[in-house]
Structure 1
Amino acid sequence: MSVTAAPLVLSDRINAMQESQTIAMAKKARALAAEGIDVISLSFGEPDFQTPQYIKDAAKQALDEGYTFYTPVPGYLELRQAICDKFRRDNQLEYLPENIVVSTGAKQALANAVLSLINPGDEVLVFSPYWVSYEEMVRLAEGVSIPLMGTLENDYKVTAAQVEAAITPRTRLIMYSSPCNPTGAVFSRDELAALAAVVARHPHIHVVADEIYEYINFVGEHVSLAQFDEVKDQVITVNGFSKGYAMTGWRVGYLAARREIAAACEKIQSQITSGTCSIAQRASIAALEGGRASADEMVAAYRRRRDLVLALVQDIPGFRTNVPSGAFYLFPDVSGLFGRTTATGETIATAADLAMYLLNDAHVAAVDGAAFGAPDCLRFSTAAADDKLREAFARIKTSLAKLK
């Protein structure tokens, strides 16, 4: 006797959630590569550098010393103290270990903060273009994302006046990144001072300041919003080791916040993942104690690659872009190519169409800007070797020249 399986009903929560578009495009690129096609993937925000050797050595030493047991939920005390020392050294900020929660990547730290602060119907002002997961985290918390769009002419940066105009009695949180993924924009001291003045007038509002690209900065000064005393207790600063120390696979991030918020994030984490990997945490202590020399070497390469790509896209009609001040992305407006047709008669109506055309024709993977709240744009990662970047944009130029 055969049994008919009941239809599978997933939760409304998961049905409403979108897959990360950076991961989705990476999957498509890998599928083509598995067919033997030479795909150049510029879709993933991952440094192409190896983790510095001294950090690897610290991980090996941790194994030899027996760091193989469960870790405290908010992270080893030694690591949290090292993070406090880092904030004092790099950001002129004073925190205690009780203000720090170490998580399995900065993504978890961001999610912990959102889930700790947002109730159903609460509004979150999200600076747009934004990192792809912000909106989905807000949706998971049953909040309402209110995107605030920065203009290309203003380096894609949202102004304090825009924030003030968007605040309502339901506004609970603001989220932004600087340096920004995907635009590379960096907020100046004056711009953040203006934002701090607005936030200080609304003490019920908190701000998640995503600073994961802090070290990858081409303009010199990195400013943290929490440096403005009048809003320090309203700011949750998120950072990690993946970008500045090329430790993407190690999955270690952290946040700094007032004690009550840190405790709330620890509570959530205690029920979802508990403490972060012991070996990765010991390696992270070594990373911080080793300073910024390895990061500075990588930044020099990222700056050279940025300049290389900016020179290459000057010869590509239909691309309009800002000059990224940090991170490792190019985020051109490609709307000038909409309405063009391919050799097979298909119309390029959106940036998503263009991304698929470039993947299939040029075999170059980029990410549709709609995933970042900017549907007229594409995001290209410049965290690739110089020869790969030259080849990728040569292919793009050739493919775009075929459009009618």
Structure 2
Amino acid sequence: MGKSLLLLLSFSFFSTFWAFSQITYKNNCIRSGDEIIKEQVEFKDPGRSGENVIWNFSELKTINSKYKLSFHSPCLINDSIYIMGCDTLLKENSDINNLIIGKEHSTMYYYQVKNDTLFCLGHENPITLMHNTIPFPLMTYPFDYKQRIEHKFESEGIHSSQSGTNTFGNISIESDAYGKMILPTGDTLNHVVRIKTTQLINDTLYIKNNIGSNDISNIFLRKQLKKKVEKHHKQIEADTYSWYAQGYRYPVFETVQAFDVIDSLRKQTFAAAYFYPPVNHYYLDDDLDNTIVLDSLNNEKVPNILTNWINQNFSHNFWPNPVSTELNIEYKLEQGANVGITLYSSVHGIVKIIPVKYMDMGLYRETIDCSTLFPGAYIIQFNVENELISNIVLKK
């Protein structure tokens, strides 16, 4: 009886989770004719990866509001070709439904869906034209929790200053977390999955000249530029976290960070966060697939008693990781429970205890001073109704 109950319990939870953890073409691929609004808000660390995360963005203030994103199809020229930036695509070899141009401010982004994968072909604006000679993927469909893909890319372009650029590197995409999100509006979304995209970019500039792109001298120059960058071990790393909520085609929240990487050491040079208010996802009136999902969520039944209590009632987050001084902790209870927190290591033993005590339903915050800890790996352990949940924290 015990084994049967555990099996049913596990099946009940994973059936519920896998129903919303998958990013699909039908529900999440960009579409021509769609329009959404995003707002820049204060940046907050994306927090941990894993299951049952609580992302509390309720206190973030708006910095810039109402950026419009729109998507449309390319025009057919002479009934034979589509022009997507630097790419010319024959009508006979291209499905118009798989070619999309995205516009944000004055920048145009060129996308193509190929073999169930969304690729970026390049982008342009009044000062820059970039062509991805080896296009990079933005998503493959379907995409499940813990799935990961990696891909090489190469780009070349020109700036208004008449200087050119060669860019090459790697991109990785991973579905690394799921949980609940409290939006800047105060609303809570329960079925949220996070996608992490990391680009390692080598960028080299050169002065444009009259040598053709296929000239042997230019080919040799590009190879030498690549060798030069590799020799100096300097890269740019761009990390983008996108949160998808069940019932919405596009992300509802996004963070972007950029780092200079020199000899494996990262120095942050940019950080921004963007909120896509669900009420401003204007495409929903013409998105039957997601409308059906939202209707089903509104009619969602209360989970049965066999559903794991922790998975339904406790979610947590902590940041930064690695930590230098203060470790920030947030957790949310859907029902009252006894909760305690311990930070310890196998080398240094217990370094901090927040004793177990009864906490009412709600959102809670704790801060642990880590400034005097020795560098290394530590374990943060949550005791929730005598069930232990552990995560690794690295001290710089």
TM-score category, normalised to shorter length? under 0.3
Give the number of the structure with larger relative contact order, counting CA–CA contacts within 8 Å between residues 6 or more apart: 1
Structure 1 or 2: more helix by fraction: 1
Give the greater-gyration-radius structure (CA).
2
TM-score (norm 2): 0.22
Structure 1 or 2: more strand by fraction: 2
TM-score (norm 1): 0.22
